Amino acid sequence: QVQLQQWGAGLLKPLETLSLTCGVYGGLFSDYYWTWIRQSPEKGLEWIGDITHGGSTSYNPSLRSRLMISVHTSRTQFSLRLSAMTAADTAVYYCARATGGVVLPASFGPWGQGTLVTVSS
Amino acid sequence: QSVLAQPPSMSGAPGQRVTISCTGSSSNIGSGYDVHWYQQLPGTAPKLLIYGNVNRPSGVPDRFAGSKSGTSASLAITGLQADDEADYYCQSYDNSLRGSVFGGGTKLTVL
């Protein structure tokens, strides 16, 4: 049974960079791709982007200029970096496994436990 | 304003059937993209409930059923139980936004 566990700083000042990592335990890493999603009361659930085990990425166009997702295959981990954070980026950030079918989009599951990220001066 | 429209709240008595709608447009559901559904219990991460419009992951009871037609999709829950009280979200792909999109969520209350 695959489990995802995520970690990273939860309190940032404006313009700082968010850095989160997600570890994948108990499952095949290379057979799937891996995604980040965030949830806030204002915007609801928002897809951030995803990455294959080989490092190919797909980003939400609205975040692309500030976003980097990377993969560490040997450690079965993947990471998120989102720069120039503002209060509008305050949300619970989740990592999840993405399973693609014949038709887009991939479905997401299981999910990590979530990290509350607050941006405040 | 979410790309996929869901009713903000619904309710039903134990044993009843409820149907949650997810209304999209020609740039998402209407273009033939799959719809997935998630259940989020209070204080927890979302959990995949239905994938590929109609399929249930292992462990999801057959009281949950998904369907899709045209620019909309639906999640039907039959034999409503107290622990079905949760938020439910639909997800699809939008070719204008070039990424996955979610509905705003429906809070289901079991009376």
Please state the rounded mean pLDDT for residues A46-67. 95
% residues pLDDT > 70 (chain B)? 100
Please state the rounded mean pLDDT for residues B22-40. 97
Asked if residue A9 lies in contact with residue A118, where contact means CB atoms within 8 angstroms, the answer is no
- pLDDT value of residue A53: 87
List CB contacts of A59: < 8 A, sequence separation 6 or more: A48, A49, A67, A69
Residue A108 clears pLDDT 90, i.e. is over it: yes
B37/A contact by beta carbon, under 8 A = no
Q: How far is A22 from chain B (nearest CA, A)?
A: 14
- pLDDT value of residue A75: 77
- From the CB of residue B32, how many other CB atoms can be counted at a distance below 10 Å? 11
Residue B60's nearest CA partner among A107, A105, A4 is: A107
B97/A contact by beta carbon, under 8 A = yes
Inter-chain residue contact B51 with A99, CB threshold 8 Å: yes
A106/B contact by beta carbon, under 8 A = yes
Please state the rounded mean pLDDT for residues B39-54. 97
Q: Which of B100, B102, B106 is the best substitution to test chain A (most A C-beta atoms within 10 A)?
A: B100
Inter-chain residue contact A105 with B33, CB threshold 8 Å: yes
Q: Which residue of B has its CA nearest to A112?
A: B45
pLDDT digits (tens, 9 = 90+) for B59-102: 999 999 999 999 999 999 999 999 999 999 999 999 999 999 99
Please state the rounded mean pLDDT for residues A30-52. 94
**Distance between CA atoms of residues B63 and B51, nearest Å:** 15
Inter-chain residue contact A44 with B98, CB threshold 8 Å: no
- pLDDT value of residue B1: 80
Residue A69's nearest CA partner among A84, A83, A87, A51 is: A51
Residue A100 clears pLDDT 90, i.e. is over it: no
CA distances from residue A88 to A74, A91, A116, A117 in whole angstroms, order as listed = 34, 8, 13, 11
